Structure 1
């Protein structure tokens, strides 16, 4: 099994596979209320069976080259993750997402992990456009999109019905030429 270092603090990213369902459930239980503020994930992974099923669905996406999911670990503990919820290699598009439990907030973990998966998607899989869809109220996730060099494409007004309330969703994106130019600028700067 492989792990990708996310920096000198010992944080790392690994594939989040079905055999990690117990660890995933414990992680989700620690952060369920916090993670569930803006995304539906904690509502679907509530017990070992649903965690295993969710992770298995991503294993199937990996096999079909239609998505990916990675966990973020600090100090040997699963604290969050990043994913490509959708990935269409033929069309050159992917939608990235993330989550963190409260103990991991403010360390730049999602930004670092998202950079790794976006770079992989652009450089290895030929993805041209990576989207980031986020609740307009989720300031932390919007800040990640900005740090990733994404542009705000627009707002889908009241498009997301979540826990009985309609939410505005912002769509952010980065195109492959923009990603490469920003990466080159950081090497030269």
Structure 2
């Protein structure tokens, strides 16, 4: 198994179906906090649902079109990052994240997504990494800015939400931009 250090007490590791109990516990601690911002299909309500979410990403990983990794802090799963999509033919992927409130403010998501972008740009040779977020999600937009992404635009009222239609902001970073900011492929 591999683990990528993010801080002295936090690391990024693969999140697999056998982590379903830990994942459900994390979702239970963060459910109200993340529910407005993530797909309802992600926020599992029970152990079978948690297992299903993680299996869906394991299957995506096996098909080479996505994946999911957890952020553990002090031995506890506190959130994670994912490749919602990964298309090597087009050279485009979409990254995403979630984090429970107690773990916010420590730069864990920014560090984890940065590692993920390093991997898709350097190892998978993708050209474009997208970040799609509800236009009202100021924390997610702040992550995109910290990563040096550019705001491509807004998809107006593209998704149905609990209180009406929502706007979706699309941010991105291109491989040459990422490499120039982060010291090239030999970081």
Equivalents in 1 of 2:64, 2:41: separation in Å? 25
- Partner of 2:172, secondary structure, is strand
**TM-score w.r.t. length of structure 2:** 0.95
Q: Which protein is richer in helix relative to its size?
A: 1
1:25-36 matched pairs, under 5 angstroms: 25-36=24-35
* Aligned 8 A contact 1:35 1:42 in 2: no
Aligned to 1:63: 62
The runs of 4+ residues in structure 1 deviating greater than 4 Å are 41-44
- The answer for unaligned runs of 5 or more in structure 1 is none
- Cα distance in 2 for partners of 1:42, 1:113 equals 23
Superposed displacement of residue 44, structure 1:
4.2
Local SS of the residue matching 1:184: coil
- Is the 1:28–1:42 contact (alpha carbons within 8 Å) kept by the matching residues of 2? no
Q: 1: CA distance between counterparts of 2:167 and 2:148?
A: 21
What is aligned with 1:170?
169
Name stretches of at least 5 consecutive residues in structure 2 with no aligned partner: none
The 8 Å contact of residues 38 and 135 in structure 1, kept in 2 or not, is answered as yes
C-alpha separation in 2, matches of 1:53 and 1:37: 21
Alignment length, in residue pairs? 186
Counterpart-to-counterpart distance in 2, 1:34 and 1:130: 25
Identify which range, 36-45 or 17-26, moves more after superposition: 36-45
What's the counterpart of residue 183 of structure 1? 182
| C-alpha RMSD of matched pairs (Å) | 1.6
Correspondence for 1:85: 84
TM-score, with length taken from structure 1: 0.94
Are the equivalent residues in 2 in contact too, given 1:40–1:162 (CA < 8 A)? no
Alignment of 1:1-189 (within 5 A): 1-7=1-7, 9-41=8-40, 44-184=43-183
